[in-house]
Structures are given as structure tokens and as C-alpha cells.
Amino acid sequence: MNFELTILGSCSAVPTSEKYPTAQVLNLLERFFLIDCGEGTQIQLRRMKISFAKIRHIFISHLHGDHFYGLPGFISTRNLLGITSDVHIWSHSDLAGLLQPLFSQMKGKLGFRVIFHPLNFQRPDKIFSDSKAEVFSFPLKHSIPCCGFLFREKQNLPKIRKEKITEFRIPVSQMQKIKEGAGFTTGEGIIIPNEQLTFPPPPPRSYAFCTDTAYCEPVVETIHGADLLYHEATFLSDLEGLAVNTLHSTASHAATIARKAGVKKLIIGHFSTRYKNEDDFLNEARQIFENTDIASEGKKFSIGVHHTQAL
Ligand SMILES: [Zn+2]
């Protein structure tokens, strides 16, 4: 089942001819979550053939322009396309006041509701939950209130061993009960305990998003064990003082958080345009956390792989 991240924009505040400000789309079991929405997001969605209609949930880390200036254009185009499904936006509570005047200037009446949900910048908070997925926000350390996000699938039920279905001729009608913990009584009246019929499901997969932030150790507990972590790395360690002063991270900071949190893979981005060679970021991070990759426009990252040999 799909759990995949697509990078739409990966640069820091100043875009280049090839790099867009921060935006990502996460496909979590066919829920398409837009994470930050820098300028140019709608162009990148077009380029990567991601449907505007599928995006109904948007998560904005903070109100620096390079993380949300794409919203008016995205909402306007979504309206011009005739899409009528509502959009939910989680962000700082000031966002609604910033956007509403722009919505009133759009061509045509807005044909869907935009529902704003204020984030909690004091402590981790569950902000979304449905039958298959949940999303948590957690505070980061930046010059204005800023949140990271953890996206996680819900725990699956145990799987039924295929060979047991054949061996005991288990009917389809009994399978849900067995997945929920029941045993099975054969036609001969023999009771087969649940443990013999099932094996545990894989642990829930998760993706953590951390930008913009200075080195922020409290996040380690919240994102612990994530399958994939995106962490900003605006600077290299040669400018650690500048990173500290501007409340951003170095590649070493990002890698240290990844190592302490025991994540499986790290991707870094949001590099300052003063650096010309992205490999320098990769090399610095890999000295601390080997399984590091670079986020760049158009790249996709699969998150965990579930085995599908069981029912
Ligand atoms: Zn910022």
C-alpha cells in the first residue's frame, strides 16, 4: 500500500531557476497531504501530475513567506478547475486573516470551503485521525512559532497465514474475526488457537517533517523510530554560529537528530544558496548518519515496504 513522499520544492528562502521554496506531497494510503506550500507549488503539482482535487489537507509549518506564499495561487487554480471538495489547512491561527482578503479577490466565487485549524506551538498534539492514518504536530525552535509534523499509518490487524486457510478450510466469513483475535473451530470440532493462525502485522510506518528549526532535541522523542525523516540543513558546520543565530540547522545537526531518534533514513534540504556544492551537505551528514539522501525537486521516496504475501 502506498506511502510515498514527493518533493515539490527544497530550497531555502531564495528560489533559483531550478529550485522552489519548500513544498512536499505525501501520499499516505491515498490521502494526499500537502506539507508547506511555497511559491510555485501549483506549477510543481502540474509538472508532477498530482491532482489538485486529491489535495484536501494542507499542513503549514510556519508563516515565513517561503513556506506558504503558494497557497493563494493553489486555492485560486483549484477553484478555476471547478473542484468543490473542502480544503482543511492546519497552520498558525494568523493565516486565515492573511488569506481571506486574497480569497475575496479571486475570479469567481470560491466553490469550496477552506477550513482553518490552529496549531498548538506549546506541545505535541494529534491534529488528524481517520480509519487508516493519523497526523501529529510538534513544536520546533525557530524565530517565529513553527511546528513539525509526524504522519503515521494506524496499526494494522494481524495477518492470517495463507497455508492455514488451506489446511483448515477457513471460510471468508470467519477471516475478520480471526484477524481481530478469534480462534477457529474446524469441521471436526478441533479448536485452533489464534496464535497458530496469524502472525503479527508490520509496525506502522511513519514520516517526520522538521523545518525550519535550530537544533531541537525534544523532537527526538516524538519522531522516534520514524521510517523517514526530512530535516532542514540550511548551513554546513563552518557557519554553525549563523545557524544558531538565525535558528536554523546545520547538516550535522540534522544528522544528529536522525541518529538520536533512531530513524531509518534521513533526507536533508533547505540549503542556503550561498553554498554551491550540495555534496558537501551530504558528506557532512553522512559522517554522523550514513543513510542520508538529498531532497530535490521531483524526487520520490517510498516509506517502508509492507509484505503482501498474507491476507
Ligand atoms: Zn522560517
**Cis, peptide link before residue 94, omega less than 30° from 0:** no
For residues 266 and 73, what is the distance between their CA atoms, to the nearest angstrom? 31
C-alpha 224/C-alpha 219 separation (Å) is 8
Is pLDDT of 310 > 60? no
User: What local confidence, expressed as pLDDT, does residue 222 receive?
Assistant: 96
pLDDT greater at residue 285 or residue 109: 285
State yes or no: is 66 an active-site residue.
yes
Residues 151, 31: Cα–Cα separation, whole Å: 11
pLDDT bracket for residue 309 (50, 70, 90): very low
- pLDDT confidence of residue 305: 66
Work out the pLDDT band at 307, boundaries 50, 70, 90.
very low
> Ligand 1 mean position to 124 CA, how many Å?
19
9-18, 42-51, 215-224, 292-301: least confident range: 9-18
Torsion of CA 124, 127, 133, 138, to 10 degrees: -20
Could you tell me the distance, in angstroms and rounded to a whole number, from the CA of residue 302 to the centre of ligand 1? 27
Q: What average pLDDT does range 82-100 have in this prediction?
A: 96
* CA 136 to ligand 1 centroid distance, Å: 20
Q: Report how far ligand 1's centroid is from the alpha carbon of 190 (Å).
A: 64
Confidence category of residue 104, pLDDT binned at 50, 70, 90: confident
pTM of the full predicted structure? 0.89
**Percent over 70 (pLDDT), the chain:** 97
Tell me, in angstroms, the distance from the centre of ligand 1 to residue 37's CA. Answer: 13
Q: What is the mean pLDDT of the chain?
A: 93
Q: How confident is the model at residue 88 (pLDDT cuts 50, 70, 90)?
A: very high
- Report the alpha-carbon distance of residue 11 to residue 274 in Å, rounded: 11
SS3 labels along the chain: CCEEEEEEECECCCCCCCCCECEEEEEECCEEEEEEECCCHHHHHHHCCCCCCCEEEEECCCCCHHHCCCHHHHHHHHHHCCCCCCEEEEECCCHHHHHHHHHCCCCCCCCCCEEEEECCCCCCEEEEECCCEEEEEEECCCCCCCEEEEEEECCCCCEECHHHHHHHCCCHHHHHHHHCCCCEECCCCCEECHHHHEECCCCCCEEEEECCCCCCCCHHHHCCCCCEEEEECCECHHHHHHHHHHCCCEHHHHHHHHHHHCCCCEEEECECCCCCCCHHHHHHHHCCCCCEEECCCCCEEECCCCCCCCC
Average pLDDT over residues 12-20: 81
Contacting residues for 218 by C-beta, under 8 A, at least 6 apart: 138, 139
pLDDT value, residue 179: 87
Over residues 258-304, the pLDDT tens digits come to: 999 999 999 999 999 899 899 999 999 999 999 999 999 999 999 98
pLDDT tens figures, 150-173: 999 998 888 888 898 888 989 998
Ligand 1 center–CA 213 separation, angstroms: 8
Q: How far does the centroid of ligand 1 lie from the alpha carbon of residue 209, in Å?
A: 14
Residue 55: phi and psi, rounded to 5, are -85, 110
Catalytic residue among 66, 130, 212, 280: 66
Question: Mean per-residue pLDDT for 42-68?
Answer: 96
Each residue's pLDDT tens digit, 201-254: 888 999 999 999 999 999 999 999 999 999 999 999 999 999 999 999 999 999
Which phi and psi (to 5°) does residue 160 adopt? -90, 135
pLDDT higher than 50, residue 308: no
- Residues 306, 2: Cα–Cα separation, whole Å: 9
Alpha carbon of 62 to ligand 1 centroid (Å): 7
pLDDT at residue number 78:
95
CB-hemisphere CA count at 13 Å for 80?
10
Quote the ligand 1 centre to 248 CA distance (angstroms): 8
Give the Å distance between the CA of 102 and the centre of ligand 1.
Answer: 22
**How far apart are the CA of 63 and the centre of ligand 1, in A?**
7
Please report which confidence band the pLDDT of residue 87 belongs to, taking 50, 70 and 90 as the band edges. Answer: very high
Please give the pLDDT value at position 63: 97
How are beta strands 266-269 and 228-232 bridged, if at all?
Answer: parallel
